[in-house]
Amino acid sequence: MNAVLLALVAVTPIAIGATAAAFAMRYISVSAIEGMTRQPDIAPQLFTAMLIGMALVEALCIYTLVVTLVIAGRI
């Protein structure tokens, strides 16, 4: 029973975190692609900015993954 509960607790953060990060990344990539198609000139700059933004969003998702791994290690 305890193991099942722990497994549920471990899975919940990564599920919520990944969903939220997916929405945020969708917004970032849509805006970046829009900007790139409007101004192909500055596409390299936009690409770099997009990478930074994605990395920062992804970090939040990774934190939840780490929490999940820590809890999963206790099962």
Q: What's the min distance (Å) between Cβ of 23 and other proteins? A: 19
CB 57 within 8 A of CB 25: yes
Distance CA(71)–CA(67), nearest Å, equals 6
Would you say 1 or 58 has its CB closer to other proteins? 58
Would you say 2 or 54 has its CB closer to other proteins? 54
Using the structure block, give the residue that is written with the tokens 């969003």: 57
Q: What's the min distance (Å) between Cβ of 11 and other proteins? A: 14
Q: What's the min distance (Å) between Cβ of 9 and other proteins? A: 19
Residue 44 CB: number of other CB atoms within 10 A?
Answer: 10
Q: Which residues bind other proteins (CB under 8 A)?
A: 43-45, 47-49, 51-52, 55, 58-59, 62-63, 65-66, 69
Residue 42 CB: number of other CB atoms within 10 A?
Answer: 12
